[in-house]
Structure 1
C-alpha cells in the first residue's frame, strides 16, 4: 500500500486570518492554511528577500505572486502563528508599547533573521533585554540566535558567583562549551582550596571590574566603553545592574508602527494547530532566496542531528 500523497499548498482550503487580513492592503500571503492580506511596504522596506519575491517586473506576462487570494505569495518557511507574531510588530495598535512573551519574541526574531529584517531583529533584542529572564534562559536564547555575547555579561557573572554549580539540566541547555567556560570562571574567581580538593564551594575572591574582566577574557567578549564604542579586550564598563538595559537602549530606534487596527498580538488567535502545506511551486533563483533556503536546510539538518 503506497503512502498517502501530501496535498500541495494551494489545494488545502485556506481561511482568512482574523487579525491580519486587511481588505485595503495590497499583498496576499498564504502561510499554512491561513491567508493574510497586508501592506507590502513593510515587507519591502527592509528585506531584500521580499523585494525579490514581490517584484512586479519579474512577472511581466502574468499577475505576480501575492496579487490575490487565488494567486497568493506562499511562505513555507514560517508557521501561521509565527507570521502573525511577526506582523504584529508593524501593526501593533499600541505604537511603541510592545507587550509580548519571550516565546513570541523568539518567533519574531527567528523570522527577522531568516528574512533579513535588521531593525526588527534589533527591536527583539531590546525587548528581550528588558525582560526578567533567568541567566540560563537568557544565555540559551542569545546563543541560539547568535546574538552579541557582550549582552550576556550579567548572566555569566550571576552563574559564576552563585553558590550552586551548574546542574545537569542547565548544562544541557547551555551547551558543553559555555558550561565549561562558566566552570572555569567559577574556579578562577574563588580562593585557594582550604579543605577538600574543590575550590568552587569557597567564597568568590574576585569582585567588581576585576571579576567582569576575568569573565570577559574567558568568554572572549568585546570591551564596551561608556562612549558606546567597542574594542577587543576585557570588559571595562561600570558595574551596575542597569548596565545591560543601558546597552540595549543604545541600539537603533524602534520600528515605526502604523495606525491600522488589527487585533493585538495577545488577542490574535493561535494558528499553531494548522497543518503546513507542501508547496511544490519553484521560486526564482536569486541570492536572497538562496540565502533563505540555505538557512532552512541548516535548520532541517540541525533538527535531524
Structure 2
C-alpha cells in the first residue's frame, strides 16, 4: 500500500502524540480545543473538527486524497489550515471518526489486525467520502479478514459499492439458510432477496437432479452454488 512508502511516516514521538489539551481562541469568539493526541508540533496543517483542532501532516492528505488536494487549493486565507485561527474546516464528521482515519497514518506499529468491524467501517466511510483510494482498499482488505454476519457484510458492501464478487461467501451462507427473518429481508432490499431466492431455487433443482430425496439449496455443493450465484448476480 502506498501508505507504507513514505519517509515521512513513522512513529509519532511521545511528546508530539500526547499534547495536553489547550483551549485557544480563533478569529471569532468561538473557543476551540487542541486535540490531546493528534495536535503535532511538527504538523503542517490545522484541521477543525467539531470544536477541536488537529495539527497533522498535510503531506498524507495531499498524497492520498483528491478531495483534500482540491480543498486545500480552493481554501482562502481564512481557512487554509496554515494556523489554528485559519484551520481547514471539516463538517459532518465526528471527532472519534476523524481519529480513526488519522490512526491509519499514525499507527506506530502498523498493527491493523486488532481493530473491530466498526473501526474499519468508519475508515471505509471516510475514505470513500473523501477519496482516499489506498485507505479504502486497506479498509476492505481488513473487513475481508473479519467475521461479519452475511447480511451485515452484504449491506455494508452494497452501501459503499464494493466488488460484489467479494460477497460470494455471504451469498452462499444465505442460500444455505433454511429461512431468514423479515427484518433481514427488509434490510437486504427486494432486488437482493429475489436474487438469493432465485439462486436457492436453482440449487434445489440441481440437488434434485442429482438424486437427493428431499432436496434443499443446502444440498448443493459450494462450487456449484458459486457458479449459480455468479450467473444470478451477473458476476464475472
TM bin, normalised by shorter chain, reads 0.7 to 0.9
What is the deviation of 1:179?
A: 1.2
Q: 2: CA distance between counterparts of 1:76 and 1:203?
A: 48
Q: Look up the match of 1:137.
A: 152
- In the alignment, the residues of structure 2 paired with residue 178 and residue 184 of structure 1 have an alpha-carbon distance, to the nearest angstrom, of 10
Corresponding residue of 2:175:
160
Distance 1:11 1:65 in 2: 19
Map Cα deviations across residues 55-103 of structure 1 (whole Å, 9 max, x no partner): 39x75xx476101111100011322111111111100122243432211
CA apart distance, 1:106: 1.2
Give the conservation status (yes or no) of the 8 Å contact 2:47–2:55. Answer: yes
Match status 1:125 vs 2:125: no
Counterpart in the other structure of 2:204? 190
Q: In the alignment, what sits opposite 1:255? A: none
Which whole-Å CA distance do the structure 1 matches of 2:96 and 2:107 have between them?
16
Change in CA separation of 1:34 and 1:98 when aligned onto 2, cut-off 3 Å: farther
2:34 maps to 1:16: yes
Per-residue deviation, residues 174-221 of structure 1 (Å, max 9, x unmatched): 111111111111122114999xxxxx9836453243221111111111
**What stretches of structure 1 move > 6 A for 4+ residues in a row?**
none
- Which residue in 1 is equivalent to 2:73? 55
Q: Are the counterparts in 2 of residues 166 and 179 from structure 1 also a CA contact under 8 Å?
A: no
- Indicate conservation of the 8 Å contact 1:191/1:205, yes or no: no
Task: Report the secondary structure of 1:146's partner residue.
Answer: coil
CA RMSD in angstroms, aligned pairs only: 2.5
> Which runs of 5 or more structure 2 residues have no equivalent in the other structure?
1-26, 209-213
Mind listing any 5+ residue stretches in structure 1 that lack a counterpart? 1-8, 195-199, 223-305
Structure 2 residue 192 is matched with structure 1 residue 174: no
Compute the displacement of 1:110 (Å): 1.0
1:120 partner SS: helix
Superposition TM-score, scaled by structure 2 size: 0.79
For residues 88-126 of structure 1, the C-alpha deviation after alignment (integer angstroms, 9 at most, x for no partner) is 110012224343221121111111111111000000000
Aligned positions, number: 205
For residue 4 of structure 2, what is the aligned residue in structure 1?
Answer: none
